[in-house]
Structure 1
């Protein structure tokens, strides 16, 4: 997988110092090189399409809210047959960011205050330093989480046809012969 210091193939750094009140729309339509890099990063056979549509908007006083969708068509290897398995990803992207020096951010992470988390609600805010956030990398994280870790071709089974019963029958026959029963 990706190293902490490597850049996302679909990196898009948004300057969040002066965001418009309505937000900054960002569209990432990956080219063939970016799609090939995504396939390599996520152990996929191929990525046929990848598009992220995001809105980077101000949140509270100094925070940033990133929301939108990432859609992709991918091909994975079946975990049973290794045959290609096609899949469509359509994942919502939603994240909150607070500046590192933010009082709310410090309180939540240093235990000086409380941030209530809802298991079904959004994740707790992440912190950022400076005035830039890589929203492309964020979209790639949501893309990665949406990939089926165990893709299986329709009808493929982990049991090999006919193997389970004969082994069991051989065992039963051996047991019967040892016990002197027929």
Structure 2
């Protein structure tokens, strides 16, 4: 029961401070995994890849997968409820005060401040994941090519994922 409570509280904290959505939460999730010793970084990278390929928000998918790896079905339930509970509470509060808060200069100032924070969290997650994802020159070339294609074209991310998977099979298979 202690592990389930730890999963809930850890993911509650991630959900509470994960401004900017799932990508911004990746570095927070990684920090929690490291502090509890629940998963190795390589396993976490695989979970992120799976969470990206499955439907739904990456934070919820990651919480579900991590919870399952740590403590089976109950672990996934507790971790998932932990990560969604702060958002649920916040939405209820915001919905109640939305009309007043919408025109508040204080709320607008907070949101303007949080935008660059979210970018910083996402960039931190990107660098952390890239450290263990770029294992050789081939992986660096694939990652760079995908980055450039996504930046310069309107190619579907699904198409890019399929092509990258095929490239991985050809280069590493």
- If each structure's helix is expressed as a fraction of its own residues, which one has the higher value? 2
TM-score by length of 2: 0.22
Higher RCO, 1 vs 2 (CA within 8 Å, ≥6 residues apart): 2
TM-score by length of 1: 0.22
- If each structure's strand is expressed as a fraction of its own residues, which one has the higher value? 1
